[in-house]
Structure 1
Amino acid sequence: MFGVKSMRSAVASTASKRLFATSIAQAYQTRLNQFFHNTLRDDLMILQYVPPSVRARQGAAEETRMKEAKESMGGTPPNPLRKHKQIRRPKPNVPVPTAHNTPFVDKVTVHIRCREALQNKHHLLSALMALQILTGERGEVLKAKNDAAAWKLRKGMPISAKVELTGDNMYEFLDKLIEVVLPRMKEYHGLKMSAGDGVGNFTLGFDSSVIGLFPEMEVVYDMFPLVTGFSVNIKTTAVRNPTGRLLLSGFGLPFLHARKPKSETFDL
């Protein structure tokens, strides 16, 4: 009898726990994440819209360009100046912008190099600690893939560290970089318009002095004398550089327009 009562009480307590069980979830969104979903995504969809007539003309012009390039390569007689010239690859087809294929930031990779790690691999600990302070995540050690005798580098030696950020941690890091670090840099006007890898990804390189501009590193900057610099790679889902620039400029990342030098005139 006692066993039956204890079993019933155990079942009742389990049911009550199941009934009132709650899961702890994040109750807020980062500023950039909320700004993207509430404002920037709709603006990007409008700015990328191309009328069907214009899209058809662009496709016809691209086909004509490719056809003329192939004919010039294999003419009769063949042009010796174009014998070894490669045909420029066709531009990627940009899909019609909708709410489902709007480009967004997919991943941010922070990479720190440490030259002193070639002599002593324990010096790489400073780079790992700096990454953890900057991003809040533990870094990954990168090893050399090939030998380089000029740098006294052998295959398998640890040389640098990196962290791949996604989700809210990615947006928080971008927010600090754009709103706090870049405005405090001297003589920084922005990325060049020619920057990018052609498919909407961008890389920013900084020296060791920029690490001290992060709020988390201001107090402990003197503890990392071996960190020589770091780079930030921003990977987006855009298929072209203009689309990626449009996305990052919406977040506030500055881009520098090339200015032609003014011609100086002298009055005689």
Structure 2
Amino acid sequence: MRARLLRVRRPPLPGKPLKYDARGVPIPSTKLMVRDTGPSTLADHYHYTLRDDLMYMTYVHEPSARKPPRDLRPTYDPADPYTKFRYNPPVGGSRIAKTPPPPSSSDNVVRLEKICLHSFQDAAISNKSALLGPLMAFRAISGLTEEGGGRKSSEGVQIVRGRKNVGGWIRPGIAAGVRVDLKGDRMYDFLGSLVRFVLPRLRDFEGIPLAFPGKTTNIPSAATGVVSFGLPPEAMGFFPEIEVNQDAYPNTYGMHIHFVTNATGIGAQDKARALLSGYQLPFKSRS
């Protein structure tokens, strides 16, 4: 019997030619969407346990409706062309630290909105390639890329550029660091890795420092509902995404972490700390 000759043919051409974006990257013909395979444990912990406890801890009963704020300056007639666009600055400067919190209800219970990570690299001012290491490390930790997973709202890891001259060594537009904003399930995944794998392995970390006793709370930072702290460079190597392939990241970098909540008004930062303590984040009092 004669052996049959197999003819190698070219693969069939796609039915429609691929389209290319502005950067010359081909756009796939099928729309890819990345979705989570399971519910977030910390998100369920907030909705089923922590939310009710925070409502009980931060509830303030108000027997009557609040009075409207008193107008301390005269209002100008908008029909008068001489005072139409005149702005009245508030009495006593900024009123951010003096604004009362919104009324307590089930709709405005303190919750975590996003987590901001950023790292400043002074070596990048003279050498832009110094940002390649922290850029790839932040992508691995956050799991975010620009429009990754078919999400148009995903900005990914962003490069931080200078806005003004600082000491003559930072100029406007020069790259100086990287940052990324985590929301949704990505935010809770990072928080879980931080609490379970990173913080317990830091020997010198005793907790997020609280304000000094007796310090006045009439400051803008106390009414923002943002809790911030920093991590040393060795902490980056404890994240599972970095530790599993640590040879690809010869250098580790420090970072600042900002927990942004929806709390506003007087006592907002205390509510944010109560929320984070429910996620097992430790705090340290200053003597």
TM-score w.r.t. structure 2 length?
0.65
Q: CA deviation at 1:25?
A: 5.9
| Distance 1:116-1:36 versus aligned 2 partners, 3 A rule | same
What do the CA deviations read for 1:12-46 (whole angstroms, capped 9, x no partner)? xxxxxxxxxxx996453211101001110011111
Residue number in structure 2 paired with 1:236: 261
Tell me if structure 2 keeps the 8 A contact 1:110–1:163.
Answer: yes
What is the distance in 2 between the residues matched to 1:234 and 1:119? Answer: 31
Deviations 1:85-109 (A, max 9, x none): x789564322333221111111111
Corresponding position of 2:50: 40
The 5 Å alignment of 1:148-227 reads 148-150=166-168, 152-194=169-211, 197-198=221-222, 199-225=224-250, 227=252
Match of 2:38 among 22, 28, 45: 28
**SS at 2:129's partner residue?**
helix
The amino acid of 1:143's aligned partner reads R
Corresponding letter in the other structure for 2:160: L
* Contact kept in structure 2, 1:115 and 1:228, CA below 8 Å: no
Which of these residues, 212, 224, 246, is aligned with residue 274 of structure 2? 246
Cα distance in 1 for partners of 2:162, 2:61 equals: 49
CA deviations on 1:177-226 (whole Å, 9 max, x unpaired) are: 12221111112121122299222101121121110111111244454455
Q: 1:41 touches 1:99 (CA, 8 Å); kept in 2?
A: no
The superposition leaves residues 139-171 of structure 1 with CA deviations (integer Å, 9 ceiling, x where unpaired) of: 111111122355x33221111111111000001
Q: TM-score, normalised by structure 1?
A: 0.69
Q: Is the 8 A contact 2:134 2:253 kept in 1?
A: no
The SS at the match of 1:116 is helix
Aligned to 1:124: 131
Unaligned runs of 5+ in 1: 1-22, 64-85, 260-268
What is the SS of the residue equivalent to 1:217?
helix
Which residue matches 1:144? 162
What is the root-mean-square deviation of aligned Cα atoms in Å? 2.9
**Is 1:256 aligned to 2:263, yes or no?**
no
In structure 2, do the counterparts of structure 1 residues 211 and 192 end up closer, same or farther at CA, with 3 Å as the change threshold?
Answer: same
**How far apart in 2 are the matches of 1:113 and 1:258?**
27
Residue pair 1:143, 1:156 contacting (<8 A) in 2 also: yes
Residue identity over aligned pairs, in percent, reads 31
Q: Is contact 1:114–1:227 with CA below 8 Å preserved after alignment?
A: no
Change (3 A) 1:218 1:26: closer
- Mean CA deviation greater in 32-41 or 250-259: 250-259
Q: Is the 8 A contact 2:114 2:259 kept in 1?
A: yes
| Cα distance in 1, alignment partners of residues 42 and 241 from structure 2 | 19
SS in 2 for 1:252: coil
Q: Counterpart of 2:255 in 1: which secondary structure?
A: strand
In 1, are the aligned partners of 2:230 and 2:255 still within 8 Å (CA)? yes
For the 8 Å contact 2:114–2:183, the answer to whether it is kept is: yes
* Structure 1 outlier segments of 4+, above 6 Å: none
Bigger share in helix: 1
Residue 99 of structure 2 aligns to which amino acid in structure 1? Answer: P
**In the aligned structure 1, how far is the partner of 2:128 from the partner of 2:263?**
38
Count the aligned residue pairs. 210
Distance 2:103 2:60 in 1: 8
Note closer, same or farther for the CA distance 1:157–1:227 as it changes in structure 2 (3 Å cut).
Answer: farther
